[in-house]
Amino acid sequence: MANRKNNELTEGEVLFIDRFLSNGYDRKEACIAAGFKTDHPAQYGGRVLKRPQVQAAIKKEIEKKRESFFIDEMDVKLALWQEANFKGKGSTQSGRIQALVALGKTIGMFTKESGNKSDSDDRSIKINITNYGSQEAKDVTGEVIDGLKDKNVNPVIDKLELN
- Say whether both 64 and 79 belong to one domain: no
Domain co-membership, 57 together with 85 = no
The confidence score (pLDDT) of residue 12 equals 94
Q: What is the rounded distance in angstroms from the CA atom of residue 50 to the CA atom of residue 159?
A: 64
Residues 160 and 139 placed together within one structural domain of the fold: yes
More confident residue, 151 or 35: 35
Q: Mean pLDDT, to the nearest integer, of 103-113?
A: 75
The answer to whether residue 53 is domain-embedded is: yes
- The number of folded domains in the chain is 3
Give domain status of residue 40, yes or no: yes
Structural domain containing residue 83 = 72-112
Sign of CA dihedral 74, 78, 81, 83: negative
Q: 25 and 42: one domain?
A: yes
pLDDT value of residue 67:
73
29 and 47, same domain (yes or no): yes
Would residue 25 count as lying in a domain? yes
* pTM score: 0.43
Q: pLDDT grade, residue 59 (50/70/90)?
A: very high
Query: Rounded to whole angstroms, how far apart are CA atoms 58 and 56?
Result: 6
> By CB neighbour count within 10 A (0-12 exposed, 13-18 middle, 19+ buried), where does 27 fall?
buried
| Residue 154 predicted with pLDDT over 70 | no
Note whether residue 162 is domain-resident. Answer: yes
